[in-house]
Each structure stands twice: as C-alpha cells, then as structure tokens.
Amino acid sequence: MSLTMLGDLTRRIDRWRGACALIAIKERARSKTRLAEALAPSARIELVRSMLAAVLSAAGAAQTVRQIIVVSPERDSVPTEIPVLADTGKCLNSALTQAHRLLRELGCREVVILPADLPKITAAEIDDLVRAGRTGGFAIAPDTAGVGTNALCLVSELPFCFQFGLGSQRLHLQEAQRTGLSPQVVRLPGLEFDVDSPADLDGLDEERWLARLQA
C-alpha cells in the first residue's frame, strides 16, 4: 500500500519548528458503524465530521503543533489548506507507518498521532502530550478503560511499529521500550474520552452535539 498526497506539503517543511499532527479517519460513510443503532446514517456522518472538526481545531490552536496532516481515503470536509495523505482505508497501522516514515524523511522528528473521534480534546491537552513526549521520546494517552490508545507523541528519528487495535496501550508501551524510548503516560479528560458505542453518546454535550444531530 502507498499513500498519495492531496495538497502541498514539501513547501512547508522549512516552517516546521514543532510537532506534526497526523489525524487519522476512515471514509466518513464507513466510520462509527457501531453507532448505527442509535443514529441514522446522515446523523452518524455529521457526528463524524463534527468530531474531526473539533480535533482539527484543537490541533490548530496547540502551541506545540506546527503542521497538521489528515490520513484518510478522502478529503471530504477537510479544509483545503490541510494536506491529506490518501490511504486505502484498509489498515490504519500500515497507513500511519508510511506517513511516519514520510515525515521522518522530510526532517520532522516530532509527530503526534490523533484519532478523529476525540470530541472533547483541547489544545492545552495536546500541548501537554507533546511536552511529555519530549521528556522521554514517547508519550501515550490511553482511553478511559486504560487498555486502548487514544493518542501518541513520538519524538524520535527511529521507525515505530504502530499497534492500534485491541490492547494497544500495552503493545505501544512495549514497542516504545523496544526502541529505547522512555514512555510517559498522559491521562487527561479530553484525550481519554472517545466515541465508539451508543453509550458514549451520553457523554457528549447535548446542546453542542446531539441537538444538532437530531435537528
């Protein structure tokens, strides 16, 4: 699998003086299918787009982030000024590995990996994650259950084998130690809360999210 760049990236390299945020998202129609029993297809897609917009906004306001790139099979609602690395949508870990390699080749050694389903994430939390990553070369933000991975920060010129999926926190910590990094675990509300199941919808602010979807 190879990635296709949608948008200009190389001309921006000399302006990078901080982290690059990689935000991964599937095709919108294929995203969050586990919410199908609670939301109509159009409402589910709107929720996915809204959560992505929230993550893009937080990353754009973070002091430690100098470049944002979306990894996705489609541009859809991503603003034209944000480059998109188009993947096939078949394997998240493979797509992130290729994107990480591309960024290292272009001279970016600080990379933040963010999913697009963190509706409560803030710029300050992203900054805390990056600063923790700078401490030991690696920082991880687990999910609420403490078994999955909701965000990563890598400050290293070495390759990294991404392990998103079941039990990913443990696997990512093992990979960081294997590569000689000193993992830092960051627990913050906006990084912990993601939306994967109908029950998670109860954690959204009704006026901001659910009222909009039910309109």
Domains of the chain and any CATH numbers: 4-214 (3.90.550.10)
User: Residue 153 in contact with residue 202, Cβ under 8 Å?
Assistant: no
Half-sphere exposure of residue 77, counting CA atoms within 13 Å on the CB side?
16
Q: How far apart are CA 211 and CA 215, in angstroms?
A: 6
DSSP 8-state class, residue 91: -
pTM summary value = 0.90
pLDDT computed for residue 12 by the predictor:
53
pLDDT along the chain (215 residues), means of 10: 56 64 94 92 94 97 96 94 88 94 92 96 98 97 96 96 96 97 97 94 68 50
Exposure string for 2-18, b = 16+ CB within 10 A, e = fewer: ebeebbebeeeeeebeb
pLDDT computed for residue 89 by the predictor:
72
pLDDT computed for residue 85 by the predictor:
94
Q: Of 62, 84, 196, which Cα lies nearest the Cα of 133? A: 62
Residues whose CB falls within 8 Å of the CB of residue 127, separated by 6 or more in sequence, listed in order: 62, 63, 64
pLDDT computed for residue 6 by the predictor:
55
pLDDT computed for residue 151 by the predictor:
98
Q: How far apart are CA 58 and CA 62, in angstroms?
A: 6
Query: Which secondary structure element, helix H or strand E, spans residue 23, and what is its range?
Result: strand 19-24
pLDDT computed for residue 2 by the predictor:
54
